A and B are shown apart, each in its own frame.
Chain A
Amino acid sequence: MKTFATLINALDSTNKTNLKLEALMHFLAEAEEGDKMWLLALFTGKRPKRNVNTALMRQWAMEIAGIPEWLFLESYSSVGDLGETISLILPAPEQYTERSLSEWMQQIATLGKATEAEKKTFVTEAWRSLTHTERFIFNKLLGGSFRLGVSAQTLINALARYYNMEANAVTHSIMGDWQMGTVTFDELVQGAYTDTQLSKPYPFCLAYPLEKEPEELGPVQDWQVEYKWDGIRGQLIRRNDEVFIWSRGEELITEQFPEIKAALLQWPVNVVLDGELLVFKDGQVLNFSALQQRLNRKNISAKMLQELPVVCFVYDLLELDGKDLRSLPIKERRSMLEALLRQYPGGPLMLCHTIAAADWEVLKSIRQESRSVNSEGLMLKHKDSPYHTGRKKGDWWKWKIDPYTIDAVLIYAQKGSGRRSAYYTDYTFAVRKGDELVSIAKAYSGLTDKEIQEVNRYINQHAIEKFGPVRTVKPELVFEIAFEGISFSNRHKSGVALRFPRIARWRKDKTAAEIDDIEEIKKMIR
């Protein structure tokens, strides 16, 4: 496991993408075939299921280290990762056993049939014979939940560079339904089992946020105006009886949307479409939280397909019958798209409507009301614009509505996990309810590292309750919390749930007496 441990160490110890790439290339050159396959398998979700219960691992580790459970939990809350906590509290290894990653994985895979005593012997034996880093990796492998500190995209880029291929082709070739042991690494990556040309997506054309007055854009009639939908942007490809759906993150998400795939397969033409995937029910777009329930599932049940049906609001046509249309102005692409969708009506592929307005004033009021249709503002696309590669200023603008904001006070803090485990980065905020405080939201992001350190100092000095992972903080620090939506909820003490809450800024100028009252906040709900 030495080569793999070196890779993990290298990936951990830098946040420079270039160095991560270097480390991966080094691994690809050094590691044996089986280990490389496992690296891919771990990345593409092909890992053995958890065969050893974490509660047992915890128990064994506490036994060996001779520490009580509360102390284990304190350690866990400080480290932020169970596998690492175990590796740190155990005594130093007694001997060293070198086994390759694939040997370990094979042994782990067979544990399913083992008795509890056999599992204990295997696991504790491994702990005794691995270095600290390898012990940590071993624990993560046992859990089947290993995150390698590198994005899928970086791995794909490394593979692409190593094999001198295009990144999209690699993405496609490693996504397939391959089985460990039936393919070779080289052939798999190089697309022996797939025709990667078929799935090749175009780079998405991206819009800039509009930061000036819309009047400066010239006459409103020059612009194609659409609602800006809060779903998942997808590029839908149908070529030679195969369908591929790419997300903006260059991930293949075809299998997550079987209804879209099925509908597109029935079209008799080859096309590449750009659109927004949304949950659409009873003639209405549901908000993002509905879509979220559909994402990253292994199986999508019939019930789910019925309760949360997904459609694609198509807004662009990039390729028709193998012809790249991207250089045409959008007004022409649009009329071709409209004709196409008129031919195949009724399915989950729907035309994204445009909004006609006499002047900018009318558009402004439509934008103000865009929340009423669960949209987050407007898109402005110049009618003469081609489909640009990436982001180009001037032709496409996103004109989002301002988020909601409230002022709230920090009441609880908890250390983050992973990279953030050294700091209190997970905050809970409260607003007033008469003379009391009620918690309203948790937020993680939005502060600079420097501000996080400053807040940490405050927490360390003003924590009321100091035991366990959560710190109760003297309610003094006021933050402006921004969010995208608000609804009633019985799951929260405050009676409301916020969508996508984040810290907009630290209101050092305000005191806890000036925070918002829950009754006022409830009035935001429409």
Chain B
Amino acid sequence: MSTVSWITLRGLFGRRRFLLLLPLPAILVLLAVLSRSLGVEPGEWGPPVLVGLGLAVVLPVVALIVGTGVLGAEIDDGTVVHILTKPLPRWQIVLPKLAVAAGVTAVTVAVPLCVAGVLADSVRLGLALAAASAVGALAYSALFLALSLLTRRPVLLGLVYVLIWEGLLGSVVSGTRVLSIQQYVIALADRIAPTGLLQGDVSVPVAAVMSALISVGFTVLAIDRLRSFSVAGETS
């Protein structure tokens, strides 16, 4: 493991905000287990739990906490200077951090989603949700990592994207769904395991291409921003 990812992991799990990651996946599994054991029809509890909670809330929020944490937290407390005063090309800093963010998010989200998917329909749906949310974890992480270099309020801006753009506008204005990672994840999961539970609004090619574009585009942007990283001056 590279030194950058080692420090990033230590930093991530050494901070208390890591504990924020635990309740949401737990609630997801709990609701799925509860619905299943009470004998509720999967058609009734599937969409609200899998999509409404799992893909619309748990995945982006966990990605937001982790994605803004791997670099944003270090920028906030100034420790980023230690990594930046090294003769490392900046991609050697961004890529390990992105890998940690996407990996931690994917594990945290894919496992409960997989369990919920299995309980709702089949092992196939469980695996489909896990795989699609891993793709989503990468795209979200790239976005939020770049946000932490573009603004001093990455968490706020990330929340605006998740809640307003994907949540509110996505359900009202259908055109915004083309630019919604959540919709890509739904489309991909539905493609891998077609069930009546997931309702994809974008086509699979669009979802795949856009996920890749977002992941690569924001990563390149983050690397470029980190090259010109400025320490905030006294007067600013």
Whether chains A and B associate is no
B→A interface (CB under 8 Å): none
A→B interface (CB under 8 Å): none
